[in-house]
Amino acid sequence: MKLRVVDKHDGEGHFPLFAKGANVDELVACEQTAHWFVCVIEGYKTYIPDTYVTDGVLVRDYNPTELVLEAGQIVTLMEVAFEWLYVEDQSGKRGWFPAEKAVSV
């Protein structure tokens, strides 16, 4: 599904891909977004959907990178995790983006 970005998103930097089975430490419920945790994975402080972790371990590969996107850009929806979308931009970069900043094309 194609989406159009309606509001600029700056993101919070690039992260490595964390492999399934990695330890997820310091899990705390995210106050801003239901079903997400603030956590530490391999020394990186980040966010993770609650469905990606069980008993403090990643249940799938995960990259928490948020894309920097400008209003008007077209992206392809890859996955939905509650109020966040995992998308691919037209150059092939993938990352997370808030659902509230996108509309269907």
For the chain, which residues score pLDDT lower than 70? none
Question: What domains can you pick out in the chain, each with its CATH number?
Answer: 2-12+67-104 (2.30.30.40), 24-58 (no CATH)
pLDDT for the residue 105: 95
The whole-angstrom separation of Cα 46 and Cα 58 is 13
Predicted TM-score (pTM) of the model is 0.93
pLDDT for the residue 18: 98
pLDDT for the residue 13: 86
pLDDT for the residue 58: 98
Residue 47 C-beta-side C-alpha neighbours within 13 Å: 22
pLDDT for the residue 83: 95
